[in-house]
Amino acid sequence: MHIAVVGSGYVGLVAATCLAEMGNDVMTVDNDTMKIEDLKKGIIPIYEPGLDEMILRNVREERLEFTTDIRDAVLRSRIIFIAVGTPPEEDGSADLQNVFAVAADIGRYMDGPRIVINKSTVPVGTAEMVKAEIIKHTSFRADVVSNPEFLKEGSAIDDFMKPDRVVIGTDSDEVAEEMRELYAPFVRTNNPILVMSNRSAELTKYVANSLLATRISFMNEIANFCDIIDADIRDIRRGIGSDRRIGPSFLFPGAGFGGSCFPKDVKALRATSKENGYSLRILEAVTSVNTDQKLILIDKITKHFGEDLKGLRFAVWGLAFKPNTDDIREASSLVLIDELLKRGASISAFDPEAMKNTREHIGDVIDFAESNYQALENADAIVVVTEWTEFREPDFERMKKLLRQPVVFDGRNIFSPSKLKGLGFSYYGIGRR
């Protein structure tokens, strides 16, 4: 099939590459000229495991191209994906200007019927508005499908190639059939393609992310309570996670959730509910618990060192909002760094992939180390913010020698409290005994 994917970020680039991998001819469009120029030169703008190699191969085999020319892409494609950003407005609602700009372009340039697939995360009712925008500019038939994306950064290729389910929002049997054909190679193990109305499909995405965020905020609150009553959240997690009604996933407490999806999607769903005269009260709590949780390590740091952190140096391990990505959008590390600096501390940070993005975002207000060990030199404590696997089994004796004081603030509970205490560290986890 001839496909265009508009937006070549974390979702669009992965979707385009995986669609090409299945043999489709895919044009990837972006209005960021630098990004497209880089992609044409084989420079991949994001870190996603396995993506570089797959892009280069599909380009070489002439199934994947990059362009800023949306007109050409619309003319050459039967199916057009919209995968542009939908960042939050000040009131939490999703900013849809990128989506509508693309819709208008599609309407302007299409020279026959098209299927327009909305992959961006958008509020209920957007498909109808996208269709209205397209048909302002054309008299050809445009079917707008809501097809939310559930991939996770860090395992995006696997998630796209083998989705747990594909959600398709459309009222047309004919379009549903075309979508089944498009996705057939991705669901060969019989994972379901779920066809529903556009509105239900749009809402499904927000509900999925909001429920996952709710589990995390809930566990974070319980972990904080464990700290007070001297219980261990790991035991609680084991105790409840083995209950099949609950299951073991998304029960890990930590220093708050970040990323470009959970914080934004929880807020956007709340905004949609308000617009429709209903208040999703649980989601208000999810956001406010998470805002506080991003500062939970500061509480622990000031309990140990006192409120004034002037003259102290902290080694921060991990800047990305989670492992295996370079994405720092809404990352807990940024909130922590900001607060440590305000309190007069200095910081040396290390992250395997996210240092470039962090430097571009905050500048040289902190030191960027060349390795996780170098970050420890002359630091008064280490603060773990992202649970990269390479941080899990470090050489603790070496760490002790490099640190000025053997103090560990483990924001992701990756170390064993008893082991670290045995080695002479002061250890602070999240809800650990």
Note whether 263 and 288 are within 8 A (CB). Answer: no
DSSP string covering 126-158, please? HHHHHHHHHHTS-SS-EEEEE------TTSHHH
Tell whether residue 214 is a contact of ligand NAD (CB under 6 A): no
Note whether 19 and 54 are within 8 A (CB). Answer: no
Nearest CA to 171 out of 131, 218, 134, 138 is that of 131
Tell whether residue 210 is a contact of ligand NAD (CB under 6 A): no
Q: Where are the alpha helices (DSSP H) in 328-405?
A: 332-342, 355-362, 372-376, 396-402
Tell whether residue 30 is a contact of ligand NAD (CB under 6 A): yes
Q: Both tokens of residue 132? A: 């209205």
Q: Which of 5, 27, 29, 96 binds ligand NAD (CB under 6 A)?
A: 29
Tell whether residue 163 is a contact of ligand NAD (CB under 6 A): no
Tell whether residue 261 is a contact of ligand NAD (CB under 6 A): yes
Residue nearest to ligand NAD (CB): 9
* Annotation marks residue 226 as catalytic: no
Please say which residue, 138 or 155, places its beta carbon nearer to ligand NAD.
155
- Taking CB under 6 A as the binding criterion, the range among 83-91, 293-301, 403-411, 425-433 that sits at the site for ligand NAD is 83-91
Report the side by side order of strands in the sheet with 64-67: 64-67, 25-29, 2-6, 79-82, 114-118, 142-146, 166-169, 193-196
Q: Which of 16, 18, 35, 107 binds ligand NAD (CB under 6 A)?
A: 35
Which helix H or strand E contains 194, and what residues bound it?
strand 193-196
Tell whether residue 102 is a contact of ligand NAD (CB under 6 A): yes
Tell whether residue 260 is a contact of ligand NAD (CB under 6 A): yes
Tell whether residue 169 is a contact of ligand NAD (CB under 6 A): no
- Taking CB under 6 A as the binding criterion, the range among 6-14, 300-308, 375-383, 419-427 that sits at the site for ligand NAD is 6-14
Question: Which of 84, 195, 261, 399 is labelled catalytic?
Answer: 261
Q: Which of 7, 256, 323, 411 binds ligand NAD (CB under 6 A)?
A: 7
Residue type at 282 in one-letter notation = I
Q: Which of 86, 198, 217, 357 binds ligand NAD (CB under 6 A)?
A: 86
Which helix H or strand E contains 327, and what residues bound it?
none
C-alpha–C-alpha distance, residues 254 and 233, integer Å: 11
C-alpha–C-alpha distance, residues 185 and 195, integer Å: 17
| Helices 198-229 and 233-241, axial angle in degrees (round to 10) | 140
Please say which residue, 35 or 294, places its beta carbon nearer to ligand NAD.
35
Residue found under tokens 């429920």: 211
- Taking CB under 6 A as the binding criterion, the range among 26-34, 138-146, 179-187, 345-353 that sits at the site for ligand NAD is 26-34
Tell me the site size for ligand NAD, rule CB under 6 A: 26
Q: Which of 151, 236, 283, 414 binds ligand NAD (CB under 6 A)?
A: 151
Q: Which of 17, 36, 85, 106 binds ligand NAD (CB under 6 A)?
A: 85
Structure letter (DSSP) for residue 213: H
Note whether 341 and 366 are within 8 A (CB). Answer: yes
Catalytic residues: 261
- By CB under 6 A, name the binding residues for ligand NAD: 6-12, 29-32, 35, 83-86, 98, 101-102, 120-121, 149, 151, 153, 260-261
